[in-house]
Amino acid sequence: MSELDTLKTEIRQLQDRQAILELKHRYLDACDAKQPAEVLACFAAGEIDIDFGHIGRFQRREDFVAVFEELGCHDHIVDMHHAQNPVIHLTGADTAEGRVGLHFHSLNTRDKTAFKLAGQYRDEYRRIDGQWQISRSHFRPHWVEMRDFSGAADVVTYAGNCMPG
């Protein structure tokens, strides 16, 4: 392989990694903005593998987005997703896998509750028709805190390294 070919390959790999990071950030931003169509577009069509623990396990992006709309697309739900420490490995010309850390904060202004968690996504990605999409996404929390601020004091109702049972 010539030096020029090597450089072209390295540039393509950098572009692919960047496109995958932007995909993940676009997904998280769409969740915060309550944009179901944008969330849907981040995932591959057809059979996929989404496992978000307490939220559910899904084999089709449409089923996941329906639950997203039901749980999160309300004016009284205010969410913030912050991605961190991404590690992306290209596994083929049109496939990749990655780990992305998440810090998540959610306020329910109607019920006066707050929820924070940190954890990690383990994802797989496929390039379909020239665009990277998520084909597998599993999330596991490592740190969880739930609070109730409906009374005179802000009370921690749960703290742990997994979702309460």
What is the C-alpha separation between 163 and 135, in angstroms, rounded?
A: 25
The whole-angstrom distance between residue 52's C-alpha and the CA centroid of its chain comes to 9
Which helix or strand (DSSP H or E) is residue 80 part of?
A: strand 77-92
What is the C-alpha separation between 119 and 83, in angstroms, rounded?
A: 10
The bridge status of strand 131-148 relative to strand 47-51 is parallel
- For range 90-108, the mean pLDDT: 98
* Distant-in-sequence, close-in-space partners of 19: CB < 8 Å, separation ≥ 6: 132
Q: What percent of the chain clears pLDDT 70, i.e. is strictly above it?
A: 100
At 112, the pLDDT band (50, 70, 90 cuts) reads: very high
- Residue-range domain boundaries for the chain: 3-160
pTM: 0.94
Q: Which of 149, 148, 122, 119 is nearest to 137 (CA)?
A: 122
Burial class, 135, CB count within 10 angstroms (exposed 0-12 / middle 13-18 / buried 19+): buried
25, 83 contact by CB (below 8 A): yes
Lowest mean pLDDT among 3-7, 61-65, 80-84, 153-157: 3-7
Tell me the average pLDDT of the chain. 97
Which residue carries 């596994």 as its tokens? 91
What is the C-alpha separation between 106 and 120, in angstroms, rounded?
A: 17
Tell me the CATH architecture of domain 3-160: Roll (3.10)
Q: Which of 55, 54, 30 is nearest to 42 (CA)?
A: 30
* Distant-in-sequence, close-in-space partners of 25: CB < 8 Å, separation ≥ 6: 83
